[in-house]
Amino acid sequence: MNQMIENSERGITLNKSLAWTIVVATLTGGIWIGVQITVAQEGIATLSERQNEDRLAIKLNAEAINVLRSSNARIDERLIGIESTARRTETSVSEILRYLRGDAFNPNRGD
């Protein structure tokens, strides 16, 4: 009988075909693990690049939002000024109409 593993006084002895199978399996496993690690590292590098791009985009968006907020504040102040001017104009027009409707400009009313 051809034993694959033999235990003798010299120690454990492996059959040649089993030894080659173990060597090939170990090398294949090592190469496979190396490929998987390389793929994982490339994936991590890609994610890191995307993360940096996203951070830059977030920074640019934040700056654009700040510009829009500043512009919005200026527009709000302009609208407040326009409303104030409109109120003053309405008040002036009301006073003028009240004066024109009064006795000073209507001479037939007092008679």
5 within 8 A of 15, measured Cβ to Cβ: yes
What pTM was estimated for this model as a whole? 0.52
What the block records as the tokens of 86 is 């409109």
> Is the pLDDT reported for residue 36 higher than 70?
yes
- Residues 39-83: tens digit of each pLDDT: 999 999 999 999 999 999 999 999 999 999 999 999 999 999 999
Cα gap 14→52, rounded to integer Å: 54
Contact 12, 18 (CB under 8 A): no
Q: What secondary structure letter does DSSP report for 10?
A: T
What are the extents of the domains in the chain? 13-101
